């Protein structure tokens, strides 16, 4: 059931390409704006890069999440999923995972120009950074799917979504930026493992909460 | 529907809270010792901390009311949640005002990203979203349910927010914050008294607001 | 078997449904009618667990649908007023997904046959957003024919259908009726409702003004009630 839902989300994205295109186009435009607005010294970029990166990802996610739930509202398609004998928690988990997959796909396009335009030289141990990004994405999409569920039927949902999302996601943002910075500056893992643990805690807490509570926010 | 103050018990408790609060403020200004390097600025501590405590207590009540509302869908839990959210936000706003008033003379700056203050600010912003969801979420029968969920999410986020900002910028840890348990009794006792009086004020306000919400609810006019 | 007790629902504090109670037994075919905005679709959406009632219970096969496991609702199929499918997916993809989340995994040929039977053979690989209202309506019949539901909630079964489509639809409906499955239709076509269904519910001001066996009611009384 879970995979049918994820498969549907990915198939929908394959047909429309709305979510990834909007996320990565927005990401690229923001990189350009950053490069123009902060055309200072390379050292500046170096210290700002982790923060800038996660701000781009967070803003792009808000856009993508909104699109994702708009697709469910068209033709009243969401009623198909929620009237089916499927646990609403599973619907949440599917939205969470497919959202994360789409975000990762956009990031694959966003990251190279980010590194090039900011003139960054990266450390070699890539695997750790990929892990940080995946955990960060899982966190954003866990709380993001929950908040989108709350906002999707509201008036001005496109405004309500980021207003609710940004303060709620702030601990994850701090953790992601700190961890990215630790990797980027080549600081030993011991010194910033706290932040990775905090991110994992965030992911686990909101994935579980979403699984339990999504039932109450899917109905009209 | 009866007016709130037409109940004797409400009138009495209102009078008690009023007298206690006036006495409390008088007591803070006249009967507490001057702390050597802080002078008058330190007095705000007797207000700031109890106000912060009541703010967080209200948000905790929002979460409890949310859980109860989701379980049995009784209107009173929705009213409790809304009333606690409103009063909590009022108190949290006061925290965000009194914090800088104290910080300016002591730390020389209006705002620092001190963990407790930062957590309070983030919670305040979440509750801005909470009230927007209440107003723009659609028909009230649905927003009650959604607000209950948001109240739960918000409070569960509190410890994570606190730990993240606590270890966020290490330099903010060096501020002179003497724990209350290490203070002299001349400070601790008026502080605890103030804490109790603010909690009394809060419970009175909560009862009052719930009563008003019950009166203005169109469902009760039918 | 479905038993509904004391369902109430308000929008913006205006009560739409007031303490509704009724029972649907196996083999019941019910026409639910009433004026616009009287809450027929809302009632159907509550029974399908899409909309949340302010109070009351809906028991399906002994399980409260709002409290029990989601799997306890299997056997219920809801076909709404709107298409309820994804505009960007093709007919085949939509039907396949809809079957899957109802716990069925049909092979593609079966889906194509089902679509053909309802008169859809062209454009079945195109996104359904280019479909007309009648074609979208036919998709619902194809879906309902593929699933082994035991209780169907159908909002406006003939909406948008042409004469050919209506005849095909009637063929399906008769076949389902012969299978002894329970069905509730929201319809304004009272004459069809009285001839096809064995029970009629007339919703007015939040409660059932009429709840009778179809053969014991005269069309005129219903029509006058609707004016």
A17-74 pLDDT, tens digit each: 999 999 999 999 999 998 888 777 777 788 889 999 999 999 999 999 999 999 999 9
Confidence of residue B179 (pLDDT cuts 50, 70, 90): low
Selection from A97, A161, A169, A168 nearest residue A134 by Cα: A97
Query: Considering only residues 6 to 45 of chain C, which have any Cβ-Cβ distance to chain B shorter than 8 Å?
Result: 9-13, 15
Are B63 and B207 spatial neighbours (Cβ–Cβ below 8 Å)? no
Selection from C215, C190, C196 nearest residue C34 by Cα: C190
pLDDT, one tens digit per residue, over A57-72 is 999 999 999 999 999 9
Calculate mean pLDDT across residues B149-173. Answer: 85
Which own/partner contact pairs does B29-32 have at CB distance under 8 Å and 24+ positions apart? B31/B190, B32/B186, B32/B187, B32/B190
Looking at the DSSP bridge assignments, the partners of residue C55 are C8
Q: Quick check: is B29 in a domain?
A: no
**What fold, for C2-75+150-226?**
Rossmann fold (3.40.50)
**Has residue B169 got a pLDDT over 80?**
no
For residue B134, list chain C residues with Cβ-Cβ distance below 8 A.
none
> Which has more confidence, C219 or A99?
A99
Q: Looking at the partner chain, which of A201, A213, A217 has a beta carbon nearest the beta carbon of B160? A: A201
Are A147 and A160 spatial neighbours (Cβ–Cβ below 8 Å)? no
Distance CA B79, CA A166 (A): 27
Are B141 and C10 within 8 A, CB to CB? yes
> Which of A3-7, B36-40, B95-99 is predicted with the least confidence, judged by mean pLDDT?
B36-40
Percentage above 90 pLDDT, chain C: 78
**Has residue B200 got a pLDDT over 70?**
yes
- What is C151-199 written as a DSSP string? EEEEE-TTTT--HHHHHHHHHHHHHHHHTT-EEEEE-S-HHHHHHH-SE
Q: Quick check: is B200 in a domain?
A: yes
| Cα-based torsion angle of the residue sequence B9, B11, B15, B21 in order, rounded to the nearest 10 degrees | 80
Confidence of residue B33 (pLDDT cuts 50, 70, 90): confident
Are B63 and B85 spatial neighbours (Cβ–Cβ below 8 Å)? no
Selection from B134, B85, B147, C7 nearest residue A217 by Cα: B147
Selection from B67, B65, B47, B66 nearest residue B55 by Cα: B47
Angstrom distances, CA of residue B210 to CA of A24, B59, B74, C223: 47, 15, 14, 47
Domain hosting B53: range is 4-24+45-220
Q: Looking at the partner chain, which of C69, C80, C101 has a beta carbon nearest the beta carbon of A84? A: C101
Confidence of residue B204 (pLDDT cuts 50, 70, 90): very high
Q: Quick check: is B195 in a domain?
A: yes
Q: Quick check: is B39 in a domain?
A: no
Distance CA B63, CA B117 (A): 21
Distance CA A24, CA A26 (A): 5
Which range among B118-132, B155-169, C204-218 has the greatest average pLDDT?
B118-132
**Has residue B170 got a pLDDT over 70?**
no
Q: What is the pLDDT of residue A65?
A: 96
Looking at the DSSP bridge assignments, the partners of residue C181 are none
Q: How are the residues of chain A apportioned to helix, strand and coil, as percentages rounded to the nearest 5?
A: 85, 0, 15
> Which of A142-156, C83-97, C200-214 is predicted with the least confidence, judged by mean pLDDT?
C200-214
Q: Which chains touch C (3 or more CB pairs under 8 A)?
A: A, B
Are B144 and B213 spatial neighbours (Cβ–Cβ below 8 Å)? no
| Three-class secondary structure of residue C201 per DSSP | strand
Calculate mean pLDDT across residues A165-177. Answer: 96
Angstrom distances, CA of residue C48 to CA of A40, A220, C53: 59, 12, 11
Distance CA B63, CA B72 (A): 14
> Which of B6-15, B173-182, C52-61 is predicted with the least confidence, judged by mean pLDDT?
B173-182
Confidence of residue C120 (pLDDT cuts 50, 70, 90): very high
Q: Quick check: is B32 in a domain?
A: no
Q: Quick check: is B104 in a domain?
A: yes
Are C150 and C73 spatial neighbours (Cβ–Cβ below 8 Å)? no
| Three-class secondary structure of residue B13 per DSSP | helix
Q: What is the pLDDT of residue C45?
A: 95
**Has residue B174 got a pLDDT over 50?**
no
Q: Which helix (H) or strand (E) holds C147?
A: none
For residue C82, list chain A residues with Cβ-Cβ distance below 8 A.
75-76, 79
β-pairing, C207-213 with C199-204? antiparallel
> Which of A158-162, B24-28, B100-104, C59-63 is predicted with the least confidence, judged by mean pLDDT?
B100-104
For residue A150, list chain B residues with Cβ-Cβ distance below 8 A.
133, 137, 146, 149-150
**Has residue B180 got a pLDDT over 80?**
no
> Which of A38-47, B153-162, C11-20 is predicted with the least confidence, judged by mean pLDDT?
A38-47
**Has residue C73 got a pLDDT over 70?**
yes
Confidence of residue C18 (pLDDT cuts 50, 70, 90): very high
Domain count, chain B: 1
Q: How does the average pLDDT of chain A come out, rounded?
A: 93
Calculate mean pLDDT across residues A188-207. Answer: 95
Q: How does the average pLDDT of chain B come out, rounded?
A: 87
Calculate mean pLDDT across residues A63-91. Answer: 94
Calculate mean pLDDT across residues C89-108. Answer: 94
Q: What is the pLDDT of residue A177?
A: 95
Confidence of residue B114 (pLDDT cuts 50, 70, 90): confident
For residue C100, list chain A residues with Cβ-Cβ distance below 8 A.
1, 4
Distance CA A78, CA A86 (A): 12
- What is B72-123 written as a DSSP string? H--HHHHHHHHHHHHHHHHHHHHHHHHHHHHHHHHHSSS----HHHHHHHHH
Distance of CA C31 to the CA centre of its chain: 10
**Has residue C227 got a pLDDT over 80?**
no
Are A87 and C88 within 8 A, CB to CB? no
Selection from A57, A143, A46, A127 nearest residue A95 by Cα: A143
In terms of Cβ atoms closer than 10 Å to its own Cβ (0-12, 13-18, 19+), residue B12 is: exposed
């Amino acid at each position: 059931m879970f995979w049918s839902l994820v498969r549907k989300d990915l198939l929908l994205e394959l047909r429309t390409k709305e979510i990834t295109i909007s996320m990565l186009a927005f990401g690229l435009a923001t990189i350009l704006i950053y490069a123009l607005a902060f055309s200072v010294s390379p050292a500046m970029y170096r210290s700002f890069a982790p923060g800038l990166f996660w701000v781009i990802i967070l803003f792009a996610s808000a856009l993508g999440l909104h699109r994702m739930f708009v697709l469910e509202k068209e033709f009243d398609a969401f009623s198909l999923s929620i009237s089916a004998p499927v646990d609403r928690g599973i619907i949440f988990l599917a939205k969470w995972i497919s959202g994360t997959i789409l975000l990762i796909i956009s990031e694959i396009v966003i990251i190279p120009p980010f590194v090039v335009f900011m003139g960054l030289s990266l450390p070699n141990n890539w695997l750790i950074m990929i892990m940080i990004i995946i955990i960060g994405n899982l966190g954003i999409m866990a709380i993001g799917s929950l908040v989108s569920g709350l906002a999707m039927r509201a008036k001005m949902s496109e405004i309500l979504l980021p207003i609710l999302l940004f303060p709620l996601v702030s601990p994850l943002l701090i953790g992601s930026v700190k961890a990215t910075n630790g990797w980027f500056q080549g600081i030993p893992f011991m010194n910033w493992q706290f932040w990775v643990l905090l991110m994992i805690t965030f992911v686990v807490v909101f994935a579980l909460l979403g699984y339990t509570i999504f039932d109450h926010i899917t109905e009209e | 529907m009866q007016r709130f103050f037409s109940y004797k018990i409400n009138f009495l408790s209102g009078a008690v809270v009023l007298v206690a609060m006036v006495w409390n403020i008088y007591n803070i200004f006249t009967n507490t010792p001057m702390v050597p390097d802080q002078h008058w600025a330190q007095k705000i501590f007797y207000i700031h901390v109890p106000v912060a405590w009541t703010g967080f207590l209200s948000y905790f009540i929002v979460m409890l009311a949310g859980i109860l509302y989701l379980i049995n869908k009784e209107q009173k839990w929705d009213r409790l949640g809304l009333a606690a959210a409103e009063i909590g936000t009022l108190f949290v706003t006061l925290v965000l005002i009194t914090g800088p008033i104290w910080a300016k003379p002591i730390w020389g700056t209006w705002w620092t990203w001190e963990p407790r203050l930062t957590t309070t600010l983030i919670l305040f912003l979440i509750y801005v979203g909470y009230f927007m969801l209440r107003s723009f979420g659609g028909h009230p029968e649905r927003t009650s349910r959604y607000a209950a969920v948001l109240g739960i999410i918000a409070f569960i986020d509190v410890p994570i927010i606190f730990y993240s900002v606590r270890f966020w910028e290490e330099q903010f840890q060096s501020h002179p914050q003497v724990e209350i348990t290490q203070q002299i009794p001349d400070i601790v006792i008026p502080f605890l008294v103030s804490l109790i009086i603010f909690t009394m004020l809060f419970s009175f306000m909560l009862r009052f607001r719930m009563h008003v919400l019950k009166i203005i609810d169109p469902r009760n006019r039918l | 078997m479905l038993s509904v007790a004391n369902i109430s629902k308000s929008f913006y504090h205006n009560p739409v449904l007031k303490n509704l109670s009724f029972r649907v037994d196996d083999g019941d075919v019910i026409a639910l009618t009433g004026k616009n905005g009287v809450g027929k679709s809302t009632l159907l959406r509550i029974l399908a667990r899409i909309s949340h009632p302010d109070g009351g219970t809906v028991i399906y096969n002994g399980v409260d649908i709002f409290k029990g496991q989601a799997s306890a609702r299997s056997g219920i199929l809801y076909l709404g007023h709107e298409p309820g499918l994804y505009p960007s997916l093709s007919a085949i993809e939509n039907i396949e997904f809809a079957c899957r989340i109802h716990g069925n995994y049909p092979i593609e040929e079966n889906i194509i046959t089902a679509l053909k039977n309802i008169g859809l053979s062209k454009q079945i690989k195109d996104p359904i957003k280019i479909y007309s209202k009648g074609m979208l309506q036919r998709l619902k019949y194809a879906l309902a024919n593929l699933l082994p539901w035991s209780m169907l909630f159908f909002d406006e079964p003939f909406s948008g259908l042409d004469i050919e489509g209506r005849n095909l639809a009637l063929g399906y409906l008769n076949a389902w009726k012969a299978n002894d499955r329970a069905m509730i239709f929201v319809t304004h076509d009272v004459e069809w409702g009285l001839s096809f269904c064995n029970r009629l519910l007339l919703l007015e001001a939040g409660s059932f003004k009429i709840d009778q066996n179809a053969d014991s009611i005269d069309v005129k009384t219903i029509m006058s009630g609707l004016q």
